[in-house]
Amino acid sequence: MTVKTSEIFDALLENLKVGGTAKVVASRRDEITKALNKDFRQKDGCVDYRLMVGSYGRHTAIKGISDLDMIFTIPGHLRSSYSSETGPRRILERVRDVLRGRYPNTDVRVDQCVVRVQFTSNAFKFEVQPAFENADRSFDYPDTSAKKWKNTKPRDEIKATKDCNDRTSKNMRHLARMARAWKNANGVAVGGLLIDTLVHRFFSQTTKYDSASTGSFDCMARDFFEFLKNESNQDFYLALGSNQRVKVKARFQPKAKKAYNRCLDAIDNEGKASANKKWREVFGTSVPLATVKSSELFSNTEQFIEDQYPVDVTETVAIDCEVTQDGWRPMWLREMRRSRTPLWARKRLKFKVTSCTIEAPYKVKWKILNRGEEAERRDMIRGQIVESTRAGIRDEQSNFRGEHIVECYILKDEVVVARDRIDVPIVTNSA
């Protein structure tokens, strides 16, 4: 069976579309705007004076987006009323109170620079930022931590995205969406503005893909990840268009290097059904598997977190595994792998969350996936999404040989915001 590269990436891009969520987002956006205009301008049913910003406003968002960023423009004549140190908090509290009145059964709260409206039924939240518009079309927004008003230029970022997208035959937004799929599938803590900035920088140093079709997206992905892995370590970037600082939360270069190598592997498998699996390792389950006649004699029980919850990775989690056996000192699996110490069967395995940047409370989920001939012969590939055995811990045992995988997912407000994976290569005891 021949699998075309263009078909793989056409399907990937189609599966990444925001889709039906867009109608719900538009409805919520208008409800919020009408409520605020009623209070600030005494206008009924008015949906003006707002701007969708962030990934959604730049049209680089993908399916599963959980954060919707929106600026609501406050009437200019109120500026002096909120210019003191208490002004930022008072304006945010006013917006909060209006939206609590509109959504009495919804969690609405002030969060430093925005009012967060958490819609549990849709598993996404609006972050509403009241702001005064300036003559240069920038905005002054409130910061309760600094107790002052700060400046932001989202229109410049939107324009820079559009200009680059027009110049590259829409490939800028295509690649930005693919990069989001990569970070969600591989647990890369990179924010949306940083992704778009990095994609913009990539296209600024090459014209090779300005008119590329999806048949060349394999090479475009390869070259993009090569660009990422070679980026120097830095604390921040200057955002596309606005040149405002965008913080780097965590190093992305190591995982970009893994993605680059997986791209090389996928390209080597071009035309084969296995190419889909290789691209899945880069971009996740939005890459469909090739349709082939199955000869499997085992039950495919693997589940995917993307099918159960929205995934929008913005934070980091790290896991390790404590390996123990009676009469032996405990060892950590990652250290065993670095020292090439084999993991034998019949060991006790304690998978643990060793670090996490998410503020409690949050939920922890796990996936234990067995691979290899013995797992298939025993019909025990497992792979279901399961709970912790204890807080932050999943107890298992190394039962049989195979290249097994354990994944950990951190959920905040019913959205997967961090994930990590550890490979568990179990060998047969020599005894």
Structure tokens at 312: 């929008």
| Structural domain contains residue 119 | yes
Q: Determine contact, residues 325/342, Cβ cutoff 8 Å.
A: no
Q: For residue 102, give the 3-state DSSP assignment.
A: helix
Q: Look over the chain and give the mean of its residue pLDDT values, rounded to a whole number.
A: 93
pLDDT band for position 295 (cuts 50, 70, 90): low
Are 46 and 151 part of one and the same domain?
Answer: yes
Are 270 and 347 part of one and the same domain?
Answer: no
Are 28 and 116 part of one and the same domain?
Answer: yes
For residues 388 and 65, give the distance between their C-alpha atoms in angstroms, rounded to a whole number. 26
Residues 289-297, mean pLDDT to the nearest whole number: 66
CATH number at residue 131: 3.30.460.90
Strand-strand pairing, 124-133 and 67-73:
parallel
CA 281 vs CA 217, 251, 278, 316, 409: distances in Å: 16, 20, 5, 19, 17
Question: Residue 385 CA to chain centroid, in angstroms?
Answer: 19
Q: Tens of pLDDT along 344-353?
A: 888 899 999 9
Are 305 and 395 part of one and the same domain?
Answer: yes
| Structural domain contains residue 287 | no
| 89 exposure class (CB count in 10 Å sphere: 0-12, 13-18, 19+) | middle
| Structural domain contains residue 192 | yes
Q: For residue 272, give the 3-state DSSP assignment.
A: coil
Are 322 and 411 part of one and the same domain?
Answer: yes
| Structural domain contains residue 289 | no
Signed CA dihedral, 322, 323, 325, 331: sign only: negative
Has residue 68 got a pLDDT over 50? yes
Are 232 and 185 part of one and the same domain?
Answer: yes
- Could you say which of 109, 136, 156 is where a domain stops? 156
CATH number at residue 386: 2.60.40
Question: Residue 304 CA to chain centroid, in angstroms?
Answer: 15
For residues 187 and 284, give the distance between their C-alpha atoms in angstroms, rounded to a whole number. 11
The per-residue pLDDT for 273 is 86
- Could you say which of 120, 140, 156 is where a domain stops? 156
Are 197 and 304 part of one and the same domain?
Answer: no
List, edge to edge, every strand of the sheet that includes 402-412.
Answer: 343-344, 415-427, 402-412, 363-369, 382-387
Kindly report the backbone phi and psi dihedral angles of residue 308, in degrees, each rounded to the nearest multiple of 5, phi listed first.
Answer: -110, -30
- For residue 224, give the nearest of 195, 248, 250, 244 by alpha carbon: 195
| Residue type, position 256, single letter | A
Q: Tens of pLDDT along 114-151?
A: 999 998 876 689 999 999 999 999 999 999 999 999 99
Name the DSSP letter for residue 122: T
pLDDT band for position 181 (cuts 50, 70, 90): very high
Has residue 429 got a pLDDT over 60? no
Q: Which residues contact 392 (CB under 8 A, 6 or more apart)?
A: 352, 353, 364
Instruction: Give residue 65's region: left, alpha or beta (phi > 0; psi -120 to 50).
Output: beta
| Residue type, position 392, single letter | G
- For residue 231, give the nearest of 190, 276, 180, 184 by alpha carbon: 190
| Residue found by looking up tokens 């190591």 in the block | 254
The per-residue pLDDT for 293 is 57
The per-residue pLDDT for 65 is 85
| Dihedral, 36, 42, 44, 46 alpha carbons, nearest 10 | -60
| Structural domain contains residue 236 | yes
In the chain, what percentage of residues exceed pLDDT 90?
Answer: 81
Has residue 430 got a pLDDT over 50? no
Are 32 and 147 part of one and the same domain?
Answer: yes
Has residue 297 got a pLDDT over 80? no
Are 380 and 422 part of one and the same domain?
Answer: yes
For residues 128 and 69, give the distance between their C-alpha atoms in angstroms, rounded to a whole number. 6
Helix, strand counts (H, E) of the chain: 12, 18
- Could you say which of 279, 308, 336 is where a domain stops? 279
Are 52 and 172 part of one and the same domain?
Answer: no
For residues 64 and 103, give the distance between their C-alpha atoms in angstroms, rounded to a whole number. 23
Has residue 20 got a pLDDT over 80? no
Are 30 and 147 part of one and the same domain?
Answer: yes
Residues 403-422, mean pLDDT to the nearest whole number: 94
| 338 exposure class (CB count in 10 Å sphere: 0-12, 13-18, 19+) | exposed
| Structural domain contains residue 284 | no
209-218, 336-345, 359-368: which range is least confident on average?
A: 336-345
Has residue 249 got a pLDDT over 80? yes
Radius of gyration for the alpha carbons in the chain, expressed in angstroms and rounded: 24
Are 308 and 268 part of one and the same domain?
Answer: no
| Dihedral, 280, 281, 282, 285 alpha carbons, nearest 10 | 40
Has residue 431 got a pLDDT over 50? no
Has residue 172 got a pLDDT over 50? yes
69-73, 270-274, 311-315: which range is least confident on average?
A: 270-274
CA 277 vs CA 240, 291, 320, 384: distances in Å: 33, 11, 26, 19
pLDDT band for position 379 (cuts 50, 70, 90): confident
Q: Which residues contact 281 (CB under 8 A, 6 or more apart)?
A: 262, 266
The total number of structural domains in the chain stands at 3
| Structural domain contains residue 286 | no
| Structural domain contains residue 109 | yes
Range of the domain at 61: 21-156
